[in-house]
Amino acid sequence: MDAIDRKILKVLQQDARASLQQVGQAVGLSASPCWERIKKMELAGVIEGYTVRLNSQALGLNDTVLVQVTLDSHSDNTLEKFGETLAAIPEVVEAYLVSGEYDYLLRIAVKDTRDYERLLRERLYKIKGIRHSKSSFVLRTLKKADLPL
């Protein structure tokens, strides 16, 4: 990747719907070489896909909860099953296996505290192997940025 590729990525991060002409014009290329570079980055896995950023509050998902989870066991089977279970819960929007005092950090999007209580009762508390969990409600998002280029 060179400086032009990084410029292309920056343009696409800001507006994934930008036309090839718009991207090319922003980086000083015609549409054809711009398209070739984008395709090369897609094939290399640099560009994983294209998406839309949604406003969680506009969708009624007013609260974000960060949940720290510790498991009873760290066997491959336990970790695999836990990951599969999380993947099936739509409110879990991010899940990280982490180092430190707990095993996982989850980011969960819910309507409100009652909705989170429902999620705990109906889904999270039913997952076998959880030894301990700790929840923190996000009060305000101070920064949410694209990847640095």
The residues near 15 (Cβ < 8 Å, ≥ 6 apart) are 22
Question: Of the ranges 77-81, 103-107, 114-118, which one carries the lowest mean pLDDT score?
Answer: 77-81
Q: Which fold has domain 56-138?
A: Alpha-Beta Plaits (3.30.70)
The encoded tokens of residue 118 equal: 């429902």
- Residue located via tokens 């409600």: 137
Q: At what angle do helices 31-43 and 3-14 cross, to 10 degrees?
A: 90
Q: Tens of pLDDT along 13-72?
A: 999 999 999 999 999 999 999 999 999 999 999 999 999 999 999 999 999 999 999 999
Q: Which fold has domain 3-44?
A: Arc Repressor Mutant, subunit A (1.10.10)
Considering the entire predicted model, what is its pTM?
0.86
Supply the DSSP string of 51-109, one letter for each residue.
-----TTTTT--EEEEEEEEES---HHHHHHHHHHHHT-TTEEEEEE-SSSSSEEEEEE
pLDDT band at 117 (very low <50, low <70, confident <90, very high): very high
The encoded tokens of residue 146 equal: 């694209």
The ranges assigned to domains in the chain are 3-44, 56-138
Supply the DSSP string of 122-133, one letter for each residue.
HTGGGSTTEEEE
First and final CA of the chain: distance in angstroms?
11
Give the pLDDT confidence score for residue 148 in this predicted structure: 93
Q: Tens of pLDDT along 93-107?
A: 999 999 999 999 999
Give the pLDDT confidence score for residue 91 in this predicted structure: 98
